[in-house]
Structures are given as C-alpha cells and as structure tokens.
Amino acid sequence: MPIRLIVGLGNPGAAYQDTRHNAGVWGIEVLARQWRLDWHRESRFQGRVAKAEHPFSGWLLCPETFMNSSGRSVAALAHFYRIEVAEILVLHDELDLPPGVARLKQGGGSGGHNGLKDLIAQLGGPEFWRLRIGIGHPGPHQPVASYVLHRPSKEEQAAIDLALERGLSVFPLVMTGQFSHAMNELHKPLSPP
C-alpha cells in the first residue's frame, strides 16, 4: 500500500521543541522544508497539516496534542480521508537505538512509547510504518521520562541530525512503495570516515 500520511510525533510548545522526545517533529519539519510545503493549523485534526503533491500525494501531520494523546489527531485525519493504518508512516524518537541510527519498520508494539501506544489504540492496530530515530537510553537506573524531555548534548544532536538525514534520504524509495529497498539502504552499516 502506498504511504498517504506522514506523521511527526512530539510535544507542542517552545518548552519541548528542542527535547529528545520531539525527534519526530524535527524530521517532519525537515521534510516539509525539503518539499517546500506550507503548514497550516487544522482544528478538526488537532494539529498542523501540509498537503503534498510531489514526490507523493498525501498529507504531512504534526499533532499539537501532547505525545500521550497523539493518536486522536492522527486518527481524526486518517478517518476523514479514509487512510488505512498501513498507509501511515510515523517518525518518532526511539530509546532502543543510539543517536545516529535510524530504522524503518512496519508494525510491532509500542516499546513503552506513549505516543505509539495511543496511536495503536486510536487507529485500532499497529500496522503503520515507523521511522525510528535513535536518541539513546539513559541507562537502567535513570528515569526515562526526564531523559526524553531534556535536550540532547551537542554531540548527540549532531548524531540525531545525521540519523534524520539518512532516514529521510530513503523517502523517495518509501514513497514509491520500495520498502525492502529502503530498509536495505538505511540499515546497512555506515562506512568508516
């Protein structure tokens, strides 16, 4: 199925814009700039939306609900435009990947990510695609909530930006339904500098 909706997860407001949990928002904003799309607020979808015609025909959505309620925004747009769960691609931060790594996959559980948990509940299934953007993990005895709601170090930010660049570089393949090729490209090891 073709992708018809791309979503960037995060928390709204200036206090959160530079925090690790907003890596999905960072990615979708880069994508909108690359594709020269204009955002506008859409109250019925509780978020900012942009309509794309090229390189794919569909929507970009940046929910303006808090992360734990992201599914309401995504489900509202998906239901309105009759977009199937498998036609959705979600960009989100991933604790289980180190900064600098991005992975593409379809389906799976929430992995404790409250935004994904709400998406699965509101959409009625986990079959959406995910671009998982590594932010690293604070360690087994550190509070995860505090970690994701703080800014990354300069080194981590540079690595996350690189992961976003690599992740977005395979979107031409994703948009034409070449998911296996996109995953092969994105998941191959980086060449040493």
Distance of CA 106 to the CA centre of its chain: 13
- For residue 109 the two structure tokens come to 């559980």
Q: Which of 109, 88, 70 is nearest to 174 (CA)?
A: 88
**Residue 192 confidence (pLDDT):** 57
Kindly report, residue by residue over 39-92, the tens digit of the pLDDT.
Answer: 999 999 999 999 998 777 899 999 999 999 999 999 999 999 999 999 999 999
**pTM exceeds cut of 0.75:** yes
Q: What angle do CA 108, 110, 111 make, to 5 degrees?
A: 100
Amino acid symbol at 88? I
User: What confidence score (pLDDT) does residue 15 get?
Assistant: 93
Q: Determine which one of 21, 79, 92, 113 is catalytic.
A: 21
For the segment 125-167, what is each residue's pLDDT rounded down to a tens digit? 999 999 999 999 988 888 888 899 999 999 999 999 999 999 9
Let me know if 21 is a catalytic residue: yes
Task: Name the β-bridge partners of 40.
Answer: 49
pLDDT for the residue 193: 54
